[in-house]
A and B are shown apart, each in its own frame.
Chain A
Amino acid sequence: MQMIKTLSAAVVVIGLAASAGSVHAAGKGPKAPAQDWSFQGIFGTYDQAALQRGFQVYKNVCAACHGLSRIAFRNLEDLGYNEDEIKAIASEYEVTDGPDEEGDMFDRTAIPADRWPSPFPNKQAAQSANGGAYPLDLSLITKARAGGGDSAIRVSMLQPTGFPIGADYVYGLLTGYLEEAPEGFEIADTQYYNKYFPGHAISMAPPLYEDAVEYADGTPATMSQMAHDVATFLTWTAEPELNERKNMGLKVILFLIVFTAMLYALKRKIWADLH
């Protein structure tokens, strides 16, 4: 009996580890090292100041080429902006609406209900403006790269030494440019060498440089600060429910532990007359 229990526990552990079989780092090459994130682990939540700074980096740097089409201006409430601030941010943008009564499309100032306007009207326009490369929409990027979204478990059977999450990958990519490709690595003139990009040859020029933005809160805009902030922001765009999810999870699990303990006591009591 004892052996069965031990073995079954082992099977459960192996099974759970094996179940992460499908968690894979994208492509080959070195894994982006794990960074410290405010939202990691069970109690982690978004650091609002970092989100606002990251938003500033996105808005001033990334947004020139990358869309964020799944995010509406109203969602910025999560970052701590109030209604007036959101209206003010939205009013900086124009969106195409229509058709009007004459059947014509027209441009108007964006309102909080609008989704983030994409920098290019379509994929072809984006490609032709970027030498054939397509700047991806970033709304879901952290969930779609490396080990996916924020996970409280960071090891799997396939990656027993641990795997990076999407935010680690974004941070690694933004800070992982080398001035020169290593000797013997063939690279086109329009491409750059990046340590963490699958295949290393990336068409995006290094987007960040020291003081690329001037942070509203006065934080010095170092490379790693900006990369860290924007990776936090992009984790929020991919998982805006994270704070609510973890908060609810804690309550649910605490309830279940108490409830299950009570069920166990009841089970013992009901079964007692059999022994």
Chain B
Amino acid sequence: MSGASSDYKSNNAIVNWIEYRLPVFSFLDSQLNKYPTPKNLNYFWNFGSLAGIILVIMIVSGITLAMNYAAIESAAFDSVDRIMRDVNFGWLIRYIHMNGAHFFFFIVYIHIFRGLYYGSYKAPREILWMVGIFILLAMMATAFMGYVLPWGQMSFWGATVITNLFSAFPLIGESVVEWLWGGFVVGNPTLNRFFALHYLLPFVIVGLVFVHLWALHMHHSNNPTGVEIKDEKEDTIPFHPYYTIKDMFGLGVFLIFFAFIVFYAPNYLGHPDNYVPANSLVTPSLIVPEWYFLPFYAILRAFTDEYFIYAWFLQWFMSAKLAGVIAMFASILVLLALPWLDRSRVRSSKYRPIYKVAFWVFAIDCVILGWVGGQPAEGVYVTITQWATFYYFFHLIILVPVIGVLERPKPLPSSIAASVKGSHAPQAAE
């Protein structure tokens, strides 16, 4: 790994003894302490470390919940209710875990959009970006299975709807669904395996996070100018104390928002139906996933027989349902190709006037998808869903490459240091 050369020295004999055998101290010193970081990172760069911290919060609160939870069809709902009423501070642990999931996604989405805006996915950070997409996928699987565990109405019906998606695949679909369920309906085996996987996947995410950081530390953080580090002395500052304190401050701000929701509106982000025990005989009037899935849920539902993309291109090959399922997965997987779809060599939108506009339109499109995903699939909502879905793919597959080729970027600063000196200094450093 690159970084500050390991000129680590200690006066402590025990530290030196360990260091000789396992160079953990020099490693931490070079990767956390002296680690050179661009001096011009803005507050959007706080969200990476925030995501890491909330992952830890989720794991700690999750393990303590697991100590009091029963993954049995007939007991799951009651065990969660018992956590809320009778376990010491059980309500606090559960509300932290429940709302932590919402904040985790919120933070990660900002982190991703920061990467999109400042072109952090471009060479040589393609693998860093791709590992990030895999983290997102693992998070989505974890969140989905975690939502099933309280075994409320929305848990049960969410699990039913989402697992049923796999039945869209021809020939093998039905068997795959039964294999996922471990039976012929969503039931005890489903709940039990979801619990096992919900406990496992966060540790897979931890592993992926380390790979993500490894790739990050190879070429260091991108920065708001998108210009690579040229002179370590001029362009960078050591991670500690500059970014440790800045990240701590960011964490403090985050925790204020988080605490507000946990203590004052703990069920605001949830669905009331999930306080009704699961009942396979009563279908909720509207089955909606959690907000962080809504854009993808909208893409899934956009594919009806009348949808023009389906009618023009796909109807001869597959059912509309299958097209929707594929589109939903594709909406995330297409991001893996983004480093190659974007032909522009300039990273930061600051110097890309056209892409910058397209970025914001895309961001608004994603918000529209999220909003419409929570609406009933009828009337004008269907039309909005379909056009917003079209634009989602149009942006990534058509606009991004075309703008990359045609756009004339603004002149880049000669270096990070020059950009800081060039602007109003105190603000740029923030």
Q: Which residues of A contact B (CB under 8 A)?
A: 1, 4, 7-8, 11-12, 14-16, 18-24, 26-28, 42, 70, 75, 139-140, 143-149, 151-153, 156-158, 166, 198, 238, 240-241, 245-246, 248-250, 252-253, 256-257, 259-260, 263-264, 266-267, 270-271, 274-275
- The B interface, classified by DSSP as helix, strand, loop or mixed, is helix
| Distance of A4 Cα from B428 Cα, bound (Å) | 12
Chain B residues closer than 8 Å to A157, beta-carbon distance = 371
B374→A21 contact, CB < 8 A: yes
Chain A residues closer than 8 Å to B273, beta-carbon distance = 26, 144
Q: A23-B269, A270-B241, A271-B242 are in contact. Are A70 and B373 (CB under 8 A)?
A: no
Chain B residues closer than 8 Å to A22, beta-carbon distance = 269-271, 288-291, 294, 374
Chain B residues closer than 8 Å to A12, beta-carbon distance = 110
Q: A263-B248, A264-B249 are in contact. Are A158 and B375 (CB under 8 A)?
A: yes
Q: A245-B263, A246-B263, A249-B259 are in contact. Are A70 and B272 (CB under 8 A)?
A: no
Does B196 reach chain A (CB closer than 8 Å)? no
A274→B237 contact, CB < 8 A: yes
Closest CB of chain B to A249's CB: distance in Å?
3
Choose one: A18, A246, A249; the contact of B371 (CB below 8 Å): A18
A19→B102 contact, CB < 8 A: yes
B109→A257 contact, CB < 8 A: no
Q: A140-B275, A148-B268 are in contact. Are A256 and B84 (CB under 8 A)?
A: no
B252→A21 contact, CB < 8 A: no
Q: Which residues of B contact A (CB under 8 A)?
A: 39, 42, 44, 81, 84-85, 91-92, 95, 102, 106, 109-110, 113, 237, 241-242, 245-246, 248-249, 252-253, 255-256, 259-260, 262-273, 275-276, 285-286, 288-292, 294, 360, 363, 367, 370-371, 373-375, 423, 425-429
Chain B residues closer than 8 Å to A253, beta-carbon distance = 256, 259-260, 263
| Distance of A274 Cα from B40 Cα, bound (Å) | 11
B363→A275 contact, CB < 8 A: no
Q: Contacts A144-B272, A145-B272, A264-B252 known; list 8 others, CB within 8 Å.
A: A23-B271, A70-B81, A148-B272, A148-B275, A238-B275, A245-B92, A249-B260, A270-B245
B245→A267 contact, CB < 8 A: yes
A263→B245 contact, CB < 8 A: yes
Nearest B-chain residue to A259, judged by Cβ? B252
Chain A residues closer than 8 Å to B253, beta-carbon distance = 260
Nearest B-chain residue to A14, judged by Cβ? B367
| Distance of A42 Cα from B204 Cα, bound (Å) | 38
Closest CB of chain B to A220's CB: distance in Å?
32
Choose one: A18, A152, A238, A267; the contact of B291 (CB below 8 Å): A18
Choose one: A24, A145, A241, A249; the contact of B84 (CB below 8 Å): A241
A240→B85 contact, CB < 8 A: yes
| Distance of A267 Cα from B428 Cα, bound (Å) | 15
Chain A residues closer than 8 Å to B237, beta-carbon distance = 274
Choose one: A16, A75, A249, A274; the contact of B242 (CB below 8 Å): A274
A11→B375 contact, CB < 8 A: no
| Distance of A37 Cα from B421 Cα, bound (Å) | 56
- The A interface, classified by DSSP as helix, strand, loop or mixed, is helix
B264→A256 contact, CB < 8 A: no
| Distance of A4 Cα from B359 Cα, bound (Å) | 13
Chain B residues closer than 8 Å to A140, beta-carbon distance = 81, 275-276
Chain B residues closer than 8 Å to A7, beta-carbon distance = 360
Closest CB of chain A to B156's CB: distance in Å?
14
Closest CB of chain B to A263's CB: distance in Å?
4
| Distance of A246 Cα from B109 Cα, bound (Å) | 29
Q: A7-B360, A21-B291, A26-B273 are in contact. Are A152 and B265 (CB under 8 A)?
A: yes
Chain A residues closer than 8 Å to B92, beta-carbon distance = 245, 248
A sample of 6 cross-chain residue pairs with beta-carbon separation below 8 angstroms, ordered by A number, consists of A18-B367, A21-B374, A22-B269, A26-B272, A26-B273, A271-B242
A267→B265 contact, CB < 8 A: no
Closest 9 CB pairs of A and B: A249-B263, A260-B252, A144-B275, A152-B264, A21-B291, A21-B374, A148-B267, A148-B272, A143-B275
A21→B288 contact, CB < 8 A: yes
- Which of B109, B255, B291 has the largest number of chain A CB atoms within 10 A? B291
Chain B residues closer than 8 Å to A14, beta-carbon distance = 367
Chain B residues closer than 8 Å to A27, beta-carbon distance = 285
Chain B residues closer than 8 Å to A266, beta-carbon distance = 245, 249
Chain A residues closer than 8 Å to B81, beta-carbon distance = 70, 139-140
B272→A143 contact, CB < 8 A: yes
Chain B residues closer than 8 Å to A151, beta-carbon distance = 264-265, 267-268
A260→B367 contact, CB < 8 A: no
A256→B268 contact, CB < 8 A: no
A249→B267 contact, CB < 8 A: no
| Distance of A23 Cα from B367 Cα, bound (Å) | 16
Q: A249-B264, A264-B249, A274-B39 are in contact. Are A1 and B428 (CB under 8 A)?
A: yes
Chain A residues closer than 8 Å to B275, beta-carbon distance = 140, 143-144, 148, 238
Nearest A-chain residue to B289, judged by Cβ? A22
B256→A248 contact, CB < 8 A: no
Chain B residues closer than 8 Å to A257, beta-carbon distance = 256
| Distance of A263 Cα from B255 Cα, bound (Å) | 13
Chain A residues closer than 8 Å to B288, beta-carbon distance = 21-22, 24
B259→A256 contact, CB < 8 A: yes
Chain A residues closer than 8 Å to B109, beta-carbon distance = 15
Chain A residues closer than 8 Å to B428, beta-carbon distance = 1
